Homo-oligomer: A and B are copies of this chain.
Amino acid sequence: MAKVLITYYSQSGNTKAMAKEVEEGAKLTGAQVTTKPVGQVSAKELLDYDAIIIGSPTYYGLPAAQIKKLIDESVEFHGQLTGKVGGAFSSAANIGGGNETTILAILQAMLIHGMVVQGTAAGDHYGPVSIEAPDNRVKMQSQALGKRVAELAIKLFG
């Protein structure tokens, strides 16, 4: 059974609320899903999962330093995440607020790890973006991300 990790940094609670929706979508597939804040995830632990989904508030068009710290520490295991599935989501203060670039920054780090990422033709293409607290659109997009990543992990890892 494919194992999915959802980790996030959240100050206002908006990114955490998105994580819950991503989790719900991932669980629909039957995958084994773990969700926890980034402070409780060690770089070594990333090796235990088939898929990793990271959420961050949009801080200056990039993931929060707390997220970046985990990414930097993962260099100790460089090469060992190859082939795992990745995904990303972000909450922001406003449209055009740097949310797409925050998501792409996380996806770029995942590509550099040799990971596999997938967009969607419907809606928030790179990953879900919430403007302030998640509304219905964001909830559906977040569930879709969880489902999409978990389904791809199941295809690749059973």
A residues in contact (CB < 8 Å) with B: 59-65, 68-69, 71-72, 74-75, 78-79, 81-83, 94-101, 103-105, 107-129, 131, 137, 141, 152, 155-156
Contacts and interface: CB of A to CB of B under 8 A. Distances in A.
B155 A126 contact: no
A41 B82 CA distance: 32
B109 A60 contact: yes
Q: Sort A-B residue pairs by CB-CB distance and give the 5 closest, nearest first.
A: A111-B119, A96-B124, A96-B129, A60-B109, A114-B121
A64 B75 CA distance: 12
Given A61-B109, A96-B100, A104-B104, 12 more contacts: A60-B112, A61-B112, A65-B68, A65-B71, A83-B118, A95-B124, A98-B112, A100-B101, A104-B108, A111-B117, A111-B119, A112-B121
